[in-house]
Amino acid sequence: MTSIMQDDILEKYLKAGEILSRVRSEAKDRVKVGASLLEVAEFVENRTIELGADGSAFPCNISRNDEAAHATPMADDESVFGEDVVKLDIGVHVDGYIADSAITVDLTGKHGDLVKASEAALYAAIDTVKSGVNTAQLGSVIEDTIVDLGFRPIVNLTGHGVARYIAHTHPSIPNRRIDHGSVLTAGDVIAIEPFATDGAGKIIDGSWAEIFSVIGNKPVRLPAARNLLKEIEPYRMLPFAKRWLKTEKLDFALMQLAKSGVITSYPVLKEVAGGLVSQAEHTLIVTEDGCQVTTL
């Protein structure tokens, strides 16, 4: 790896992955029927810091049943887990170098095959990765694995590259067969995340959002908006949760920054036909003859 990536950068990617792996394992044990979603999310985010990370790469996502992604608890959330299919998606960064991983916890006891479909697709794709492989090939492997197990991939969600302080960047890693992709090269850092469903295989935006990120740098005049801009400055381009913020007149300030093109929101993503969704994800560094998974 030293010939591909500077040693200090590699060390930070590996540290982020090691911390994430431990947090993921500890958090999984807390996902139980009757447990608080907010308490699990706060445990993930606080434990990340306790173990030596510089912060979360994005708010802890806890998406249930037909929710595929971008669900995170509100500040006063009283929701508890029921007999749900739970996606736990965690991001950790060390000096901006990101680890991103997700698991599915089946609290129903009835959907193990659905959980297996996304996991099997993830590991089949990982086994395919090496320098020179086209991401289109990964999409074919993911789709074939999920379909062979009796489910559908979510065709309009993808894996992605990660970069310093950027959770989603080039290249896109498709979860379906496509004609043209991108060629992977040694040193690329990517997150592969297959989603499997018993629904139609497509997601749409839901009606609410609790996650935002900065997308522009424009002057704002209103005091509440300026105060919020100062508060979110430490997150740089990383997503943040509304429940993390203390600025007065918060809803108004968020609306003003969104209207000004300074921030964008990430609505919860829901399966279009109401199907159950499973997710599995690891971050990895591409090598000449394979890859190094940082989040095992």
Q: Which of the following is catalytic: 93, 111, 160, 282?
A: 160
Is 100 assigned a catalytic role?
A: yes
DSSP 42: H
* 59 within 8 A of 40, measured Cβ to Cβ: no
Question: Is 89 a known active-site residue?
Answer: yes
Among this protein's residues, is 84 annotated catalytic? no
For the question of residue 233 being annotated catalytic, the response is no
Phi, psi of 140 (to 5 degrees): -65, -45
- 281: annotated active-site residue: yes
C-alpha to C-alpha distance for 164 and 176, rounded to whole angstroms? 27
Backbone phi and psi for residue 147, each to the nearest 5 degrees, phi listed first: -65, -40
Catalytic residue among 143, 188, 193, 271: 193
Q: Give whole-number Cα distances, 89 to 129, 144, 179, 226, 260, in Å.
A: 22, 24, 29, 31, 29
The reply to whether 93 belongs to the active site is no
Options 168, 188, 271, 282, the catalytic residue: 168
Select which of 18, 45, 84, 100 is catalytic. 100
Q: Is 247:228 a contact under the CB 8 Å cutoff?
A: yes
The one catalytic residue among 67, 89, 143, 188: 89
Catalytic positions, written as ranges: 89, 100, 160, 168, 193, 281
